[in-house]
Chains A and B, each alone.
Chain A
Amino acid sequence: DTEVTQTPKHLVMGMTNKKSLKCEQHMGHRAMYWYKQKAKKPPELMFVYSYEKLSINESVPSRFSPECPNSSLLNLHLHALQPEDSALYLCASSQDRDSYNEQFFGPGTRLTVL
């Protein structure tokens, strides 16, 4: 299984809602990543988890809260988002945090904030 899965595929939420994005991999990878991708732009790193511990937070606003409950799962909790947070949210995983290792990306969750 060389797949990273993400749910939901699409999400529409209001600015007062609380929602969560989920990511799962069963490749035994110990590093997992959240990226944000705006339309026609490259992915931008948000968070990195290594061995279930947060290792990088790219100065992401606190309305985005990551969680890594175990080595296979990565969540991104969303609260009080703004319309400019609408984007494709990509999850990725790699064998470990060494960036010489290939990152495998999921298909993303397309988020719209109204």
Chain B
Amino acid sequence: GESVGLHLPTLSVQEGDNSIINCAYSNSASDYFIWYKQESGKGPQFIIDIRSNMDKRQGQRVTVLLNKTVKHLSLQIAATQPGDSAVYFCAEKDPMNRDDKIIFGKGTRLHILP
């Protein structure tokens, strides 16, 4: 079954504020996680990934935090902009170790308030 899920289906954030999107997973064997952004009418777009040997990884305006103790990861977006409006999915490499497969979580819609 699907082990990756999200705490909130929607998140509304003031433009310029930081956004934090959370994700929980259930299989302690999961070792690789990816965040995707999907804008309306488009396919998912890779944002950032993290392996289980790391706690934190930073990109341009985005940071992913991984807490293996509580099986939780988060995506932080700094200085949220209107272009950040999208659905954000966390995904994990199949913990059954099939190389090809990633499993998507349920998704969080991010609304940017003017």
Contacts and interface: CB of A to CB of B under 8 A. Distances in A.
Nearest to A48: B100
Contacts of A104: 46
Contact of A90 (B44, B91, B107): B44
Contact of A42 (B45, B94, B98, B104): B104
Contacts of A90: 43-44
Contacts of B103: 45
Interface string A97-110: 11110111111100
Interface string B72-110: 000000000000000001010110001111111111000
A62 interface: no
Interface residues of A, number: 26
A81 B55 CA distance: 45
Interface in A3-53: 4, 31, 33, 40-45, 48, 50
Contacts, number: 55
Given A42-B105, A42-B107, A100-B93, A56 B43 contact: no
Nearest to B4: A42
Interface of B is mostly: loop
Interface string B42-62: 111110010000000000000
B41 interface: yes
Given A99-B32, A100-B93, A45 B101 contact: yes
Given A44-B104, A99-B102, 11 more contacts: A33-B100, A41-B106, A42-B89, A42-B91, A43-B89, A45-B102, A56-B100, A56-B101, A100-B93, A102-B49, A107-B43
